[in-house]
């Protein structure tokens, strides 16, 4: 079975500092990995994805994520946080070998709070 | 506007009632996915349809059902509602079943907030 863990319910960081939001996953085959962001009263917005290739993936709004197969992790990072980055972040995974269904499985989410 | 339209945006109903949530996918997308978001359970996958056919089921209760119509819009039917069914219900769409290299992720609608009183 596929699963995603986001070990931190909340991450607090000062504006201008680097941020990391952690994600680990479990799939039986090769993973397809995603990060989404949710602002209050809004749907989820796509940030970036890892399908194959370079382990460092760059996405929207200056975010990037590093795929680490040996640690089964896909942490979200940004070199310099903005107050406007404050939101709820979701990591999601899909097993590339699962042909029966293609649903993404989401972690419980991490609230990022950036203080000025 | 993401291109995925969900109606209604808000719904308040009493326990025991039945409601229908509607989703129109982004133009060209064949797959529709339904998710339930609650504070304690996070974002739970309910069910997926592809081009009118059920493709996968997640944690969907027997009281809940869904369908996708020939015009590709989808409806999620929730019956015998309980207080615990209060949640945000999201619909998402994608171009195809995301097999192989076409795994581009989803586009989400803005959700329907269901409150059961």
Whether B22 and B35 have beta carbons less than 8 Å apart is answered as no
Say yes or no for a CB contact (<8 Å) between A100 and B56: yes
Q: Helix, strand, or coil here: B79? A: coil
Q: pLDDT (tens digit, 9 = 90+) per residue, B57-113?
A: 888 999 999 999 999 999 999 999 999 999 999 999 987 555 544 446 788 999 999
* Residue of A102, A105, A106 for testing the chain B interface, max B β-carbons within 10 Å: A102
**In whole angstroms, what is the distance from residue B106 CA to residue B98 CA?**
9
Provide, as residue numbers in chain B, all residues whose Cβ is less than 8 Å from the Cβ of A108: 42-43
CA distances from B47 to A1, A73, B66, B104 (A): 16, 26, 8, 19
Of the candidates B48, B103, B111, the beta carbon closest to that of A43 is on B111
Half-sphere exposure of B61 (CA within 13 A, CB side): 12
Cβ atoms of residues B56 and A100 within 8 Å: yes
pLDDT, tens digit, 9 for 90 and up, residues A61-82: 999 999 999 999 999 999 999 9
Strands A3-5, A64-68: pairing is unpaired
């Amino acid at each position: 079975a596929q699963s995603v863990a986001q070990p931190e319910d909340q991450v607090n960081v000062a504006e201008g500092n680097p941020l990391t939001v952690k994600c680990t996953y479990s799939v039986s085959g090769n993973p397809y990995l995603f990060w989404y962001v949710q602002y209050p009263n809004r749907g989820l917005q796509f940030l970036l994805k890892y399908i194959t290739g370079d382990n460092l993936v760059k996405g929207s709004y200056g975010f990037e994520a590093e795929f680490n197969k040996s640690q089964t992790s896909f942490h979200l990072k940004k070199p310099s946080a903005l107050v406007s980055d404050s939101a709820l972040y979701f990591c999601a995974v899909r097993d590339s070998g699962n042909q029966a269904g293609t649903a993404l499985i989401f972690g419980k989410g991490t609230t990022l709070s950036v203080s000025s | 506007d993401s291109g995925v339209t969900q109606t209604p945006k808000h719904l308040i109903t009493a326990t025991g009632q039945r409601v229908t949530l509607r989703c129109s996918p982004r133009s060209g997308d064949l797959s529709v996915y339904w998710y339930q978001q609650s504070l304690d359970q996070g974002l739970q996958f309910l069910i997926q349809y592809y081009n009118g056919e059920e493709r996968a089921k997640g944690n969907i209760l027997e009281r809940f059902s869904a369908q996708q119509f020939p015009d590709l819009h989808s409806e999620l039917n929730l019956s015998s509602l309980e207080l615990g069914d209060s949640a945000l219900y999201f619909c998402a769409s994608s171009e195809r079943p995301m097999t192989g290299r076409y795994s581009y992720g989803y586009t989400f609608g803005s959700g329907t907030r269901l409150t059961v009183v």
